[in-house]
């Protein structure tokens, strides 16, 4: 817990290196499963899926499954297939998200929908989603299937909820936290929880890992929201201000709107409804966000969720896995600096 964090020392910034080293051998197995199981006699499927899967993703979610299994000293290999299933669900979601948002850039590369068109992205997403369930079925655990089918439904619900809230600047913080709990944190939680299932541990272990993943997921998303307004395009791998131009009401905007003058609120209403989205407007938005403390407080909220994630690891014995999982949280937060 906090001891783990203090070990980091002031001279080193938090990184994913410890978790990457911890799971490197397992992740090779997962990558093999991913590459094998995205194949199809229909050539467009591996071509399109490979573009995204090989395209610089951090494999954050499968790494969490692997690291949590290591935390529990799980000696088997069932989690390789299941971590691949988690990555397939994530990839399917990204493919559909990019169509829904009309995105043109992800991780610094052109999106699949731009290269191959929306129809192909939708259908290959459906394929990967189905394939993820085939992988779970091969594993055979109904409990894992329950966790991941539930997570998938919750993700889709969260995405529709966000679509409904789009351009609605009056969305409140609780509603927004509900949206990101669903669309982002549910899969982080499930990725961690299934490690407890394959390791055949009790419900309270499942719950602790679920809490770790869920809080990390929320922190992760809030930091993404903050750096969409505050980072350079290179660091994000997508355009700065994308959320602003898409009228995505994220926590920074919710806080700035709540704290703003009548004039500020009118600005946000016009901006989120798509009326003011040029570079000057974005600069004004960023100014309002900084002045109102909305960016700093979004990061502060993320820190709180991050701390809850680390605290959820409390019951587990100290060691490399616990340190690596805690540092992954610190890393997620540190992206805002």
What residues line the site for a copy of itself (CB under 8 A)?
40-45, 92-93, 96, 99-100, 118-120, 122-124, 126-127, 129-131, 133-134, 136-137, 140, 142, 145-146, 149-150, 152-153, 155-157, 159-161, 163-164
Shortest Å, Cβ 116 to a copy of itself: 9
Shortest Å, Cβ 75 to a copy of itself: 24
Q: Which two tokens stand for residue 121?
A: 């992205």
Complex with a copy of itself: residue 112 or 324, whichever CB lies closer: 112
Complex with a copy of itself: residue 127 or 316, whichever CB lies closer: 127
CA geometry: angle 195, 196, 199, nearest 5 deg: 85
Shortest Å, Cβ 104 to a copy of itself: 16
Shortest Å, Cβ 98 to a copy of itself: 11
Complex with a copy of itself: residue 159 or 311, whichever CB lies closer: 159
Which residues 6+ apart lie within 8 Å of 207 measured at CB?
none
Complex with a copy of itself: residue 12 or 150, whichever CB lies closer: 150
Which residues 6+ apart lie within 8 Å of 261 measured at CB?
none
Complex with a copy of itself: residue 140 or 317, whichever CB lies closer: 140
Shortest Å, Cβ 125 to a copy of itself: 8
Complex with a copy of itself: residue 125 or 306, whichever CB lies closer: 125
Complex with a copy of itself: residue 74 or 129, whichever CB lies closer: 129
CA 247 to CA 165: how far, in whole Å? 10
Beta partners for residue 123, in sequence order: none
CA 255 to CA 275: how far, in whole Å? 20
Nearest CA to 131 out of 85, 191, 186 is that of: 85
Shortest Å, Cβ 182 to a copy of itself: 9
- DSSP for 256-309 reads HHHHS-HHHHHHHHHHHTTS--SHHHHHHHHHHHHHTTHHHHHHHHHHHHHHHH
Which residues 6+ apart lie within 8 Å of 218 measured at CB?
177, 180, 181, 184, 185, 302, 305
Shortest Å, Cβ 87 to a copy of itself: 16
DSSP, collapsed to helix, strand or coil, labels residue 14 as coil
């Amino acid at each position: 817990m906090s001891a783990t964090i203090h070990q980091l020392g002031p001279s080193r910034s938090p990184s994913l290196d410890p978790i990457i080293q911890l799971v490197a051998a397992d992740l090779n197995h997962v990558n093999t499963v991913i590459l094998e199981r995205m194949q199809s006699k229909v050539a467009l499927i591996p071509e399109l899926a490979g573009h995204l899967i090989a395209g610089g993703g951090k494999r954050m979610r499968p790494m969490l499954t692997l690291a949590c299994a290591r935390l529990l000293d799980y000696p088997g290999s069932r989690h390789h297939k299941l971590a691949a299933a988690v990555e397939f669900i994530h990839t399917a979601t990204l493919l559909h998200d990019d169509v829904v948002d009309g995105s043109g850039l992800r991780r610094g590369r052109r999106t699949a929908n731009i290269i191959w068109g929306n129809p192909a992205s939708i259908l290959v997403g459906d394929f990967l989603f189905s394939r993820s369930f085939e992988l779970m079925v091969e594993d055979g655990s109904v409990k894992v299937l329950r966790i991941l089918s539930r997570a998938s439904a919750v993700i889709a619900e969260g995405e529709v909820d966000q679509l409904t809230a789009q351009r609605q600047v009056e969305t409140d913080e609780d509603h927004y936290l509900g949206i990101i709990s669903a669309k982002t944190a549910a899969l982080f939680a499930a990725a961690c929880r299934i490690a407890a299932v394959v390791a055949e541990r009790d419900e309270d272990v499942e719950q602790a890992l679920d809490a770790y993943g869920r809080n990390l997921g929320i922190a992760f998303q809030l930091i993404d929201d903050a750096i969409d307004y505050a980072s350079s395009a290179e660091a994000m791998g997508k355009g700065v201000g994308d959320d602003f131009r898409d009228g995505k009401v994220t926590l920074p905007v919710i806080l700035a709107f709540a704290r703003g003058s009548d004039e500020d609120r009118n600005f946000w209403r016009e901006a989120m409804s798509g009326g003011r989205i040029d570079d000057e407007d974005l600069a004004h938005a960023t100014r309002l966000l900084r002045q109102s403390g909305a960016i700093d407080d979004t990061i502060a909220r993320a820190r709180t969720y991050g701390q809850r994630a680390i605290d959820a690891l409390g019951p587990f014995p100290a060691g490399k896995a616990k340190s690596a999982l805690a540092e992954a949280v610190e890393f997620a937060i540190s992206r805002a600096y």
